[in-house]
Amino acid sequence: MLEKLREEVYKANIALPTHGLVVFTWGNASGFDPDSDLFVIKPSGVAYEELTPSNLVVCDLDGNVVEGDLNPSSDTPTHAVLYKAWGDRIQGVVHTHSSWATSWAQAGKSIPCYGTTQADYFYGDIPCMRSLSQTEIEGAYEAETGNVIVDGFAEKNLNPLSIPGCLIRNHGVFSWGTNSNEAAYHAVVMEECAKMALHTEQINPDVKPAPQFLIDKHYERKHGKNAYYGQK
């Protein structure tokens, strides 16, 4: 079932340790098939070396296993909430505890857009979401993490396509994209931007975000309706 998607999600998962975003099994990638409303996700606690396209797990949007012998990632309900809310636009989700971005998450600070590296992919700051309450953490924790993202984006009036990731306070990173490989790509971009932003503030503690017209220019030339970056 979903053989092509399994191959894609397998590659997205392997991209995480390849790019230094995960150690041990601290991360997962999934990909969504909007026709069947099913998604393919990494099994829980399985080392990346042991991962194959066929041992990935297929789940429905309630997080039930539809195909697979292994338990899905413990973060599966978070992925399901994101696909339920945004599955018409995003078909890939990645979660990591990558060190630089997670440092910002632990500090409870959004990553300001200090330059064009970030502006090429994120139309502004990479937001740090609100803390989960004790009730949310002791209840349906992973699903509530998804709700904090979806509700936070709605409250801030953010478009998940123009801000393809966020920080979960005291926890780590969620990123997404039009497929799982793009979600992994955005996780790498977030990590690099997090590292550069910290260095930027260390070099100049009074630094201000890049001017809006520069952010507009860089985001629009790549993603706007008159985009001209790259090859046709």
Greatest extent of the chain over all pairs of C-alpha atoms, in Å: 54
Q: How far apart are CB 112 and Zn ion at their closest, in Å? A: 24
Pairing of strands 38-41, 27-33: antiparallel
To Zn ion, the closest distance from the beta carbon of 89 in angstroms equals: 23
Catalytic residue among 37, 60, 216, 229, which?
229
Of 17 and 112, nearer to Zn ion (C-beta) is 17
Told to judge if 229 belongs to the known catalytic residues of this protein, a careful annotator would answer yes
48 part of the active site: no
Segment near Zn ion (CB under 5 A), from 39-47, 53-61, 137-145, 165-173? 165-173
Q: How many other CB atoms are there within 10 angstroms of residue 32's CB atom?
A: 29
**Site stretch for Zn ion (CB under 5 A), options 134-142, 167-175, 209-217, 221-229:** 167-175
Q: Which is nearer to Zn ion, 31 or 172 (CB)?
A: 172
Give the SS3 label for residue 37.
Answer: coil
Answer yes or no: are the C-beta atoms of 92 and 32 closer than 8 Å: yes
Site residues (CB under 5 A) for Zn ion, limited to 171-190 = 172
All residues at 6 or more sequence positions from 222 whose CB lies less than 8 Å from its CB, including other chains: 120, 121, 229, 230
What's the one-letter identity of residue 133? Answer: S
Options 33, 48, 120, 151, the catalytic residue = 120
Nearer to Zn ion, 124 or 172 (CB): 172
Ranges of beta strands (E only) in the chain are 27-33, 38-41, 57-60, 65-67, 92-96, 165-168, 172-177
Nearer to Zn ion, 33 or 136 (CB): 136
Residue in the structure block whose two tokens are 């100049």: 204
Q: Which long-range contacts (CB under 8 A, 24 or more apart) does 201-208 make?
A: 207/114
Tell me how far, at minimum, the Cβ of 46 lies from Zn ion, in Å: 15
CB of 106 vs Zn ion, minimal distance in Å: 12
> At which residue do the structure tokens 């894609």 appear?
8
- Of 17-25, 35-43, 100-108, 166-174, the segment contacting Zn ion by CB under 5 A is 166-174
Contact set with Zn ion (CB under 5 A): 172
Where in the sequence numbering do the catalytic residues fall?
120, 229
